[in-house]
């Protein structure tokens, strides 16, 4: 019997795995050094998925290209975050 706690744990686990994959792909595609931990890579992938999904809905794009849009969102964050750190 599945409880709400079990489905929450599974959802978080799936988000972490998908975020890790998306983060690793984005880091591999971005030229130059990207020093960050595995945890930061996972967070980058999750945040990229959220940003990509938000931008896709804003632009009225189909939701079928979820991985591609998630990777593009992660690439945008990977490019933007170091620029914001230097500005501060």
Contact 20, 45 (CB under 8 A): yes
Token pair listed for 25: 């792909």
Res 1 pLDDT > 60: no
Per-residue pLDDT reduced to its tens digit, 21-77: 999 999 999 888 877 888 888 888 889 888 888 888 888 876 666 788 889 889 999
Provide the residue ranges of all domains of the chain, joining segments of one domain with +. Answer: 4-87
Distance (Å, rounded) from C-alpha 63 to C-alpha 48?
Answer: 15
- Write down the pLDDT at residue 62: 65
pLDDT of residue 49: 86
pLDDT at 25: 92
Regarding predicted confidence, which is higher, 4 or 48? 48
- Give me the residue label for tokens 């930061």: 40
User: DSSP secondary-structure letter at 60?
Assistant: T
């Amino acid at each position: 019997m599945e409880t709400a706690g079990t489905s929450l744990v599974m959802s978080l686990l799936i988000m972490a795995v998908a975020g890790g994959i998306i983060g690793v792909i984005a880091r591999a595609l971005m030229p130059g050094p990207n020093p960050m931990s595995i945890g930061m890579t996972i967070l980058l992938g999750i945040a990229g998925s959220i940003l990509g999904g938000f931008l896709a809905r804003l632009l009225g794009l189909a939701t079928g290209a979820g991985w591609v849009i998630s990777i593009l969102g992660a690439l945008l964050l990977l490019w933007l975050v170091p620029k914001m750190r230097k500005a501060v």
